[in-house]
Structure 1
Amino acid sequence: MSRITARRRITRVKLGDSPIRQEDVLAVEEPLEIRVGGRSLAVTMRTPGHDFDLAAGFLVSEGVITRGGEFAQARYCAGATVEGVNTYNVLDVTLADGVAPPDPSLERNFYTTSSCGVCGKASIDMVRTQSAYEVAEDPLRIDAAVLASFPDKLRAEQMVFEKTGGLHAAGLFDGKTGKMLVLREDVGRHNAVDKVIGWAVKEDRLPLRGTVLMVSGRASFELTQKAKMAGIPVLAAVSAPSSLAAELAVEVGLTLVGFLRGDSMVIYSGDQRVVEVDATVKEGSFA
């Protein structure tokens, strides 16, 4: 299997001190080609590891599958080699009998990088994908104190980040108990989320009602859409959301929380799900 970290000689410089040459640990970034039934669908730049989860989650995010039973199997293609050694960078997915293959118009439209998960889509209309689940109907109510505990829990389990400082993380939490169900890391925030959703596919847990998706960076439109596609009612991030992410969250009835740090947070949509928010909330003004 491919490595998830690599060592490299570096020169560390601190003003006023002598430079130091030493070995450092980097997060690995390699391409993964995702095929469905032998036909190429997407190429993503990712950190190797949990590739089957990544492929399954990607197919949910793009509306190809909606439940675990629709994902039959995945395998690495033996023909993808360098000097006779399998690179583990080409993955072929087999869908269950009766599941329609991806629309041919999607093939090769996807090239995803570690910073952009929708690069190469032909138009903004292709970015929006219809979900099989209605998150607005999810009755989850979560205590603000439970929600505030998630960033520390996420950070404590980021084993590869601890070594490299260069990975995003996504964690799925039970909204009632606050228990972390799964955590995945990747150089791409969208890949980390797809790996979480793919884990749920393999566990046949879709839709993910009553759960919270916690991400280590910002909340983009794309991550909001991925939460919607998996039936996740709450998306929380340690940083800011984008305007389009907030608009989508309002549109579909998803609770969107940003700047979740310490004992504070900003709720951009769906504040009725957070127990501490009630009719006595004070009205403020724009900064």
Structure 2
Amino acid sequence: MKPRPGPTTRMRIREITGSVARDRRDDLATEEPLEIRLASADGARKTVAVTMRTPGHDFELATGFLHGEGLVRPGEIAAIAYCTDEDLPPEARYNTVTVRLRGPIPDLPALDRHFLTSSACGVCGSASLDALHDRCRPIPRGELALTPEVLYGLPDALRGAQGVFGKTGGLHAAGLFTATGELLALREDVGRHNAVDKLAGWAALADRLPLAGHVLMVSGRASYEIMHKALAAGIPAVCAVSAPSSLAVDVAREFGMTLVGFLRGERCNVYAGGERIAA
């Protein structure tokens, strides 16, 4: 049986410096598919999604994805396990997660429509916002107060806790912080949206949702996907090292979220929800 994949993969490479070449080993960020399946108590099964991810915290990833997409509430989950079906090749065991529900699988046509809507491919912004309004409420204004000093410390705290990135240089990170800048949890992945799903899944499995009064810090840019996953988890503030997209800003303003971009050193841009920052 193929061993359980880890977050890094060691490969031989050729390094060239100037006119000198040498062969050595290098650690790369592992990227493998994860199939997320739903199963009911009566034995019915349905593959909901296949995502490319960095192995690790797979149960959190599946839980966060299902919650973020509005498909399954954490309380509806009876068990989560890697798949051991006889029809599954041995090497795929740790790349397939089955989420067993306490009740039936949700209506399948609705699942398919929702997944297509949330893929952010060829869907207009207004349709995406309408879909969010169907299942998410605006964030209350008074749940979080931040200072510029706390914000300025978030990127270094995030980077300092990125153990796999330190080895590979090739992973995104998402960190959950308190209003005082304390790092509660960090997850890494080749997909920035996966890192956020892992964080949301961690909170869901620990019965910590919604995450009112917390800050999400991401290592890349802030996209629509990042904002809608943060909104679904009840996170009032999202900070990013790079720029936000226009639709990310629309989501933040529409749902009362704070969105900070280009957070580097002692400067940043506030695109929405500036009233939560005492500057």
Q: Place the TM-score, normalised by the shorter chain, in its bin.
A: 0.7 to 0.9
Unmatched tracts of structure 2, length 5 or more: 40-44
For these two proteins, the number of residue pairs brought into alignment is: 265
Report the equivalent of 2:22.
20
- Cα deviation, 1:137-187, whole Å, max 9, x if unaligned, reads 443111111111111111011000000001000000112x32111100000
Helix, strand or coil at the partner of 1:63:
coil
Helix, strand or coil at the partner of 1:256:
strand
Corresponding letter in the other structure for 1:252:
F
Report the equivalent of 1:134.
138
Report the equivalent of 1:88.
94
- Cα deviation, 1:253-273, whole Å, max 9, x if unaligned, reads 110000111111110000000
Task: Give the counterpart of 2:79 among 59, 73, 81.
Answer: 73
- Cα deviation, 1:23-49, whole Å, max 9, x if unaligned, reads 111011000110111211000000010
The 2-side partners of 1:180 and 1:189 are apart by 18
- Cα deviation, 1:85-122, whole Å, max 9, x if unaligned, reads 5531111112344x8625434349859xxxxx826x68
1:56 matches 2:59 = no
The alpha carbon displacement at 1:69 in A equals 2.3
Report the equivalent of 2:165.
161
Task: Give the counterpart of 1:143 among 136, 143, 147.
Answer: 147
Report the equivalent of 2:42.
none
What TM-score, normalized by structure 2, do the two folds share?
0.87
- Cα deviation, 1:176-204, whole Å, max 9, x if unaligned, reads x3211110000000000000000000011
The 1-side partners of 2:56 and 2:29 are apart by 12
Q: Structure 1 pair 244/126, CA: closer, same or farther in 2 (3 Å)?
A: closer
Q: Structure 1 pair 202/9, CA: closer, same or farther in 2 (3 Å)?
A: same
- Are the equivalent residues in 1 in contact too, given 2:69–2:115 (CA < 8 A)? no
Unmatched tracts of structure 1, length 5 or more: 112-116, 277-287
The 2-side partners of 1:21 and 1:61 are apart by 44
- Are the equivalent residues in 1 in contact too, given 2:83–2:93 (CA < 8 A)? no
Helix, strand or coil at the partner of 1:88:
helix
- Are the equivalent residues in 2 in contact too, given 1:4–1:48 (CA < 8 A)? yes
- Are the equivalent residues in 2 in contact too, given 1:183–1:196 (CA < 8 A)? yes
- Cα deviation, 1:200-234, whole Å, max 9, x if unaligned, reads 00011111100000000000111011111111000
| Equivalences for residues 1-287 of structure 1 within 5 A | 1-14=4-17, 16-37=18-39, 38-66=45-73, 68-79=74-85, 81-82=88-89, 84-85=90-91, 87-97=93-103, 101=106, 103-107=108-112, 118=119, 123-124=123-124, 125=127, 128-129=131-132, 130-175=134-179, 177-276=180-279
The range that moved more, 212-221 or 140-149, is: 140-149
Corresponding letter in the other structure for 1:36:
L
Residue identity over aligned pairs, in percent, reads: 50
Q: Structure 1 pair 62/32, CA: closer, same or farther in 2 (3 Å)?
A: same
Q: Structure 1 pair 69/109, CA: closer, same or farther in 2 (3 Å)?
A: closer
Corresponding letter in the other structure for 1:90:
T
Q: Structure 1 pair 201/138, CA: closer, same or farther in 2 (3 Å)?
A: farther
Q: Structure 1 pair 138/230, CA: closer, same or farther in 2 (3 Å)?
A: farther
Aligned-pair Cα RMSD in Å? 2.2
Helix, strand or coil at the partner of 2:235:
coil
The alpha carbon displacement at 1:3 in A equals 1.8
- Are the equivalent residues in 2 in contact too, given 1:42–1:107 (CA < 8 A)? no
Report the equivalent of 1:281.
none
The range that moved more, 214-223 or 73-82, is: 73-82
The 2-side partners of 1:109 and 1:209 are apart by 26
Which has the larger share of helix?
2
The alpha carbon displacement at 1:7 in A equals 1.0
- Are the equivalent residues in 2 in contact too, given 1:64–1:102 (CA < 8 A)? no
Helix, strand or coil at the partner of 2:146:
coil
Q: Structure 1 pair 86/45, CA: closer, same or farther in 2 (3 Å)?
A: closer
